[in-house]
Amino acid sequence: MQAITRHPKDRTPWQAELGQAYARLDDLLDALGLTAEACGVSAEAAAGFPLRVPRGFVARMRHGDSRDPLLRQVLPIEAENAVLPGFGSDPVGDLASVRTPGLLQKYSGRALLITTGACAVHCRYCFRRAFPYSGHSATPGVLAAALDAIAADDSLQEIILSGGDPLALGNGRLAEIIHALDRIPHILRIRLHTRLPVVLPERIDDGLLALLRDAGKPVVTVIHANHANEIDAGVVAGLDGLRSVSAALLNQSVLLRGVNDSVDALAALSQRLFSAGVLPYYLHQLDRVAGAAHFLVPDHVAVALHAAMAARLPGYLVPRLVRETAGAAAKTPLEYIGTT
Ligand SMILES: *Cc1c(COP(=O)(O)O)cnc(C)c1O
Ligand code: SF4
């Protein structure tokens, strides 16, 4: 992951807020009234994939609770250092799907553009935590080549702006990408995959809303929340704005042990999302990235949780439970693969 560096003078309010994000374990623990011992934190894990968490997200955690579901997503702990068979650095075959640097295609009609390596938060379970962003980030030259490849391939209808997090880019950089895609006739939709609206709702500023509203193609926005506690009044306000400029506003989550592996937690998340104008899209089975094994929910438990959600909620509040399999033609519903 790359750091976001800007001259302080140039900072917008959200960039200033991001600059205040916790990057030191001691500061985070102090803020929550916790000790390193109580949490089993690991400096080694933090050295491999740095701690990064915006203060506003920490404010939604329960003070003094080392098991808080939001804290567990961001806290580097001893368990990350376990080396386990089957958990590697490229769990979903990203590198095999590279068309040009920064442009990944796995599925028919849609391709994914790595717009930046930066994120506002570092999620310990991230499947791209070891992605070699330096070779795939949208430097002007790399981006131009990726856009040329998109323009030359009329089998592509949708481009997904991903990363890292595309909203870690400023509005100017984002506008350049969106306007370039606007000029390609066969691109029918632009999709944003972003966790910023959840972890740093200040990012949804007027400039961003104007840019998305004025885009020449419908914008589908897919946010990433894993627990109902992530969605507070500030997030709801930002989502209101996003919904007004998006053709669809969806959420994807990752099923995480100790975070959201109960039907109560999953159902509460769906309900909270709907109240904020967001429909659940995917519930991802964990990608087997090194350092994240302690988050794994066994497949048979995942399928049972999903069935319990379906028994409790209207169909439109039940996300699709999927796994990403390297080489598959789509994300695969877990029910289809059987369980292990
Ligand atoms: C997950 C993913 C997509 C999106 O898949 P949808 O089923 O369309 O949401 C597209 N491209 C890549 C490379 C992906 O990993
Ligand atoms: S925001 Fe997304 S890409 Fe960034 S660390 Fe979290 S899961 Fe990974």
Between vectors from CA 221 to CA 21 and to CA 72, what angle results, nearest 5°? 40
Residue nearest to atom 6 of ligand 2 (CA): 123
Residue ranges around ligand 1 (CB below 6 Å):
97, 104, 106-107, 110, 112, 160, 330-331
3-class SS at 161?
strand
Quick one: average pLDDT of 142-146? 92
Residue 162 CA, closest ligand 2 atom number: 3
Ligand nearest to the CA of residue 51, numbered in listed order: 2
Determine which of 100-104, 209-213, 316-320 has the lowest per-residue pLDDT on average.
100-104
Distance between CA atoms of 127 and 182, rounded to whole angstroms? 30
Distance (Å) from CA 126 to ligand 2 centroid: 5
Q: Say yes or no to pLDDT of 1 above 80.
A: no
Does residue 133 sit in the same domain as residue 155? yes
pLDDT digits (tens, 9 = 90+) for 180-224: 999 999 999 999 999 999 999 999 999 999 999 999 999 999 999
Mutate to test the pocket of ligand 2, among 104, 128, 161, 282 (most ligand atoms within 8 A of CB): 128
| 248-254 and 332-333 strand pairing | unpaired
Q: Closest by alpha carbon to 69, among 78, 84, 57?
A: 57
Distance CA 30, CA 63 (A): 10
> Which of 116, 124, 44, 55 minimizes the C-alpha distance to 87?
124
Residue 119 Cβ inside 6 Å of ligand 2? The answer reads yes
Residue type, 263: V
The yes-or-no verdict on residue 9 having pLDDT over 70 is no
Ligand 2 near 128 CB (within 6 A): yes
Given the DSSP bridges, would you call strands 332-333 and 320-323 parallel, antiparallel or unpaired? antiparallel
- Per DSSP, which regions of the chain are E strands? 98-100, 103-107, 110-114, 158-162, 189-194, 219-224, 248-254, 279-284, 320-323, 332-333
Examine the domain organization and report whether 225 and 280 are in the same domain.
Answer: yes
123 Cβ inside 6 Å of ligand 2:
yes
Q: Could you tell me the two tokens for 208?
A: 């961003």
Pair 171, 201 in one domain:
yes
- Of the candidates 57, 81, 105, which is a domain's last residue? 81
Q: What is the pLDDT of residue 132?
A: 81
What CATH code is carried by the domain that includes residue 108? 3.20.20.70
What length does the chain have?
340
Domain final residue, candidates 49, 81, 113 = 81
Q: 86 lies in a domain?
A: no
The pairing of strands 248-254 and 219-224 is: parallel
Residue 168 clears pLDDT 90, i.e. is over it: yes
- Using omega within 30 degrees of 0 as the cis cutoff, is the peptide bond preceding 164 cis? yes
SS3 of the chain: helix, strand, coil, percent, to 5: 40, 15, 40
Contact 295, 286 (CB under 8 A): yes
**Going edge to edge, which strands form the sheet with 219-224?**
98-100, 103-107, 110-114, 158-162, 189-194, 219-224, 248-254, 279-284, 320-323, 332-333
Closest residue by Cα to atom 8, ligand 1, is 110
For residues 265 and 302, membership in a common domain is answered with yes
- 125 CA closest ligand 2 atom index: 7
Q: For 288-297, what is the mean pLDDT?
A: 96
Question: What is the C-alpha end-to-end distance of the chain, expressed in Å?
Answer: 32
Greater confidence (40 vs 339) lies with: 40
pLDDT of 90 strictly over 50: yes
Tell me the average pLDDT of the chain.
Answer: 94
Q: How far is CA 144 from the centre of its chain?
A: 25
The pair phi, psi for residue 285, each rounded to 5°, is: -70, 145
- C-alpha dihedral over 238, 103, 105, 51, to 10 degrees? -50
Average pLDDT over residues 60-81: 98
Q: Give CB contacts under 8 A, 24+ apart, made by 23-26.
A: 23/50, 23/51, 23/52, 24/51, 25/51, 25/76
Q: Give me the mean pLDDT over the 219-238 stretch.
A: 98
Residues 156 and 185 in one domain: yes
127 Cα nearest atom in ligand 2: 8
Measured in Å, residue 169 CA sits from the centre of ligand 1 at 21
Pocket-testing residue among 119, 203, 227, ligand 2, by greatest number of atoms within 8 A of Cβ: 119
Closest atom of ligand 1 to 282 CA is 9
- Which residues are bridge partners to 190 per DSSP? 159, 219
pTM of the predicted model as reported, rounded to 2 decimal places: 0.95
Q: Are residue 110 and residue 189 in the same domain, yes or no?
A: yes
- Cα of 290 to ligand 1 centre, how many Å? 21
Query: Is the CB of residue 292 below 6 angstroms from any atom belonging to ligand 2?
Result: no
Q: Could you tell me if 167 and 303 lie in one domain? A: yes
Range of the domain at 67: 8-81
Query: Both 271 and 306 in a single domain?
Result: yes
Q: What atom of ligand 1 comes closest to residue 330's alpha carbon?
A: 7
Which residue puts its alpha carbon closest to atom 7 of ligand 2?
126
In a domain, 88, yes or no: no
Do 43 and 142 lie in a common domain? no
At residue 322, what is the residue type? V
Number of domains the chain is built from: 2
Strand spans (E) along 163-289: 189-194, 219-224, 248-254, 279-284
* Mean pLDDT of the 37-42 span: 95
The answer as to whether 2 is a domain residue is no
Residue 38 sits in the same domain as residue 111: no
In this structure, are 282 and 152 located in the same domain?
yes
Q: 90 lies in a domain?
A: no
pLDDT of 135 higher than 80: no
**Cβ pair 332, 323 in contact under 8 A:** yes
Q: Specify the amino acid at residue 190.
A: I
DSSP letter assigned to residue 26: H
Confidence check: pLDDT of 339 > 50: no
Q: Enter the DSSP assignment of 286.
A: P
Q: Is residue 89 part of a domain?
A: no
> Which of 43, 59, 81 is a domain's end point?
81
318 in the same domain as 250? yes
Query: Which ligand does the CA of 284 lie closest to?
Result: 1
Here the tokens at position 85 are 């068979």
